[in-house]
Amino acid sequence: LMLAMTGQFRNLLAADRRISQQAALQKTADHIATLLEKAEPLPLELTAVIPARFMQSTETGIEFVAVARAGAFTFGLSEISVALTDVNGLMQLTQTNSPRRLQQNRTATINTVLSEEVNVLAFTFLSPPTSDGATPEWQPEWQTPASLPLAIKVQLGTKTGRGDQLVASSFAYLNR
């Protein structure tokens, strides 16, 4: 009887771990989407020639300028990046915040590990409609200078202990 019950509970525990892992992955995707919704139409490089890039994406990360609360009634700007990085053979999803200063040196950079289980990070960008009336389209990367996309889809993935791939998605809406 005990052996039969143990088998039943093992399946329930595995299902509970999978649900917890999926919820944590979704929470991380939602966090990144919330960060992206704070993106401001400001150049990444203070000394850049016009047209400057407001947002830069690669296959493993994204960088943008956003509003960050500096105090109860004070707001400041921060350069934010979210990237999937290899640390000693292990993939980590990290967030970097660097307060925006007039000088180029970054003295107060804060690095935060968002997850050590993510093995897929992907962004898809919804382009604004063009002047000729073409409908917005989803693009795998954002390379348009001096503009922000209408929306960004964030997709994260991780492997379970059984080798299954879990995926979580969230959307950030930037149309202002």
Q: 11-64, pLDDT tens digit by residue?
A: 777 777 888 888 999 999 999 999 898 888 777 776 656 667 788 888 788 988
Dig out the tokens for 133 from the structure: 């009336």
Cis bond before residue 129 (omega within 30° of 0): no
Cα–Cα distance measured from residue 173 to residue 176, given in angstroms and rounded to the nearest whole number: 9
Which candidate, 139, 147, 126, 141, places its Cα nearest to that of 53?
147
Q: Answer for the pair 160, 140: CB distance below 8 angstroms, yes or no.
A: no
CA distance 25 to 67: 25
Return d(Cα 56, Cα 79) in angstroms, integer.
11
Residue positions counted in the chain: 176
pLDDT tens track for 124-166: 999 887 778 778 889 888 878 788 899 999 999 998 777 888 9
What's the predicted TM-score (pTM) here? 0.81
